[in-house]
């Protein structure tokens, strides 16, 4: 599904509240780095807390724009309520995926709720 989105010419980014170095390690492990225009993850602060979802979304958008991507019509794909809430803070519609860590009731407020990668691909690519 990620490759199909890439092949369609749609730029992709991460906006994870996992530490950025962990996000990079996961993408490298699964040989997915080449599909992402920007990698954005949380940074630990001096108090041990990490950046929240709103920050990493803003960072992802900034990095995409810096790479020359038109970010006027983004969509966020997520699996937790904080994805839905973070997207809403930035006016970004969220597609909630049912195969992640979240529970179905966390999809409240999402534009759509999909239950398979094929369904997500169809929604994104038509």
One pLDDT digit (tens) per residue for the chain, 126 residues: 999 999 999 999 999 999 999 999 999 999 999 999 999 999 877 776 778 999 999 999 999 999 999 999 999 999 999 999 999 999 999 999 999 999 999 999 999 999 999 999 999 999
Task: Please give the structure tokens belonging to residue 65.
Answer: 């724009």
Q: Tell me, what's the pLDDT at 22?
A: 95
Residues forming CATH 3.40.50.1000 domain(s) in the chain: 1-71
Task: Please give the structure tokens belonging to residue 44.
Answer: 């630990």
Distance CA 85, CA 105 (A): 13
Q: Tell me, what's the pLDDT at 47?
A: 77
Buried b (16+ CB within 10 A) or exposed e, 9-48: eebbbbbbbeebeebbeebeeeeeeeebbbbbbbeeeeee
CATH fold of 1-71: Rossmann fold (3.40.50)
Q: Tell me, what's the pLDDT at 29?
A: 98
Reported as type and span, the H/E element at residue 19 is: strand 16-19
Distance CA 24, CA 20 (A): 6
């Amino acid at each position: 599904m990620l490759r199909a989105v890439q092949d369609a010419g749609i730029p992709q980014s991460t906006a994870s509240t996992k530490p950025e170095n962990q996000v990079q390690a996961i993408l490298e492990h699964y040989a997915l780095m080449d599909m992402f225009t920007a990698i954005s993850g949380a940074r630990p602060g001096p108090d041990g807390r990490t950046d929240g979802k709103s920050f990493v979304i803003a960072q992802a958008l900034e990095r995409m724009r810096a790479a020359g991507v038109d970010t006027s019509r983004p969509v966020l794909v997520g699996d937790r309520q904080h994805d839905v809430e973070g997207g809403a803070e930035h006016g970004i519609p969220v597609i909630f995926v049912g195969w992640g860590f979240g529970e179905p009731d966390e999809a409240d407020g999402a534009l759509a709720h999909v239950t398979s990668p094929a369904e997500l691909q169809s929604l994104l690519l038509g």
